[in-house]
Amino acid sequence: MIGQKSQRDPRHRVCLNKFVNVIWLAVMVVFTDNADAQSPITALAFSTDYKHVIAGSHLGLLIEDWPGLHGGRTKPLEMDSIHDVSFSPDGRHLLIAGGSPGVAGIVQLRRWPNLELVRSWSEHQDVVYAIAWRADGKEWVSSSWDGYCRVCKIDALVAHVTMSNHSGPVFAAMYLPGGQIASAGADRTIVVWDSSSGLPSKILRQHTATVHALACQASEVAKVGEPLLASAGEDRTVRFWQPSIGRMVRFQRFKSTPRSIAWTMDGRWLMVGCDDGRVFQLDPIQLTTEELLLQNASVINLLVDMDGEICFSHRWAVKKIEKRR
């Protein structure tokens, strides 16, 4: 009997292994199908009237009503990845930035709200990570993994300015209230540069790791001096700058990497989304923080509307944090 049992054990183990492999394959198929159906959101923007929020993923665009977050519709796009979306100041156009890793960076200009394609650019040699309009809506800046920033006019077919002072991928770029551009990325620097020449005026070097995000107070917010520029980095800090003189004025360290930042309209608070799923309200003067939310996914995208309500992406869904009374 003992001999017979020992002879059957190997066959039992083979059957068990086959059964486990079948179950594992079934789980992987379900997981893959679900991942394709629910792609993580990698870009987020409010329409200029704050009646809609646009989310981007590798599946295309998701358009939700705001603040109700209902009536969502989707728009598939022929773009492998989407990393930023931005409305023109007059609300008539939408820029979409992304592309194919290692192949090409793509910027599309589409009309709003019908999303008709106006034109497309592919001058970057790798994925475009950030796009931002100038205040008058006549040009924009793009930044890419290829290490370059490019400035393009709305009616042009090619960029007319290229900035190449970064030594690695550029993950953030924006216009400052005075008309200059600030960009930041993997080389741990923030470059403040002229949009007409591409030449740098200041290089800010206090971060000790990759800089993920930039956000600047509105020009009318600053009572004394210039509006503060905020930056968020892999060194787990949010830093505040006076960009025209290249001075860092203060910083706040977090337990987890701050991934996304956004100012309230009045410039009183900076909202900070972190990799550990926490969202904080940060006072830029006193450097006090208040935790507003804890969830189980990194806060990659975060926006604040004109009433102080926060919109953020949770994996493949758009959610909100109600304004505190």
Same domain, yes or no, for 27 and 153?
A: no
Same domain, yes or no, for 49 and 83?
A: yes
Same domain, yes or no, for 15 and 145?
A: no
Same domain, yes or no, for 156 and 109?
A: yes
The token pair that represents 107 in the structure block: 């910027």
Q: Tell me the C-alpha distance between 287 and 95, whole Å.
A: 34
Same domain, yes or no, for 164 and 182?
A: yes
Q: Tell me the C-alpha distance between 233 and 208, whole Å.
A: 8
Q: Tell me the C-alpha distance between 240 and 248, whole Å.
A: 6
Task: Report the number of distinct structural domains present in the chain.
Answer: 2
Same domain, yes or no, for 174 and 296?
A: yes
Q: Residue for token digits 């470059």?
A: 191
Who's near 161: CB < 8 A, 6+ residues apart? Answer: 150, 151, 195, 196, 197, 198
Q: What is the pLDDT along the chain (325 residues), one digit of tens a residue?
A: 444 444 445 444 444 444 434 344 333 333 334 444 568 999 999 999 999 999 999 899 999 999 999 878 999 998 999 999 999 999 999 999 999 999 999 999 999 999 999 999 999 999 999 999 999 999 999 999 999 999 999 999 899 999 999 999 999 999 999 899 999 999 999 999 999 999 999 999 999 999 999 999 987 776 667 899 999 999 999 999 999 899 999 999 999 999 999 999 999 999 999 999 999 999 999 999 999 999 888 999 999 999 999 999 988 899 999 765 4
Residue ranges making up the domain that contains 5: 1-37
The strand pairing partners of 56, in sequence order, are: 43, 61
Q: Tell me the C-alpha distance between 205 and 143, whole Å.
A: 19
Same domain, yes or no, for 29 and 65?
A: no
The token pair that represents 200 in the structure block: 């740098």
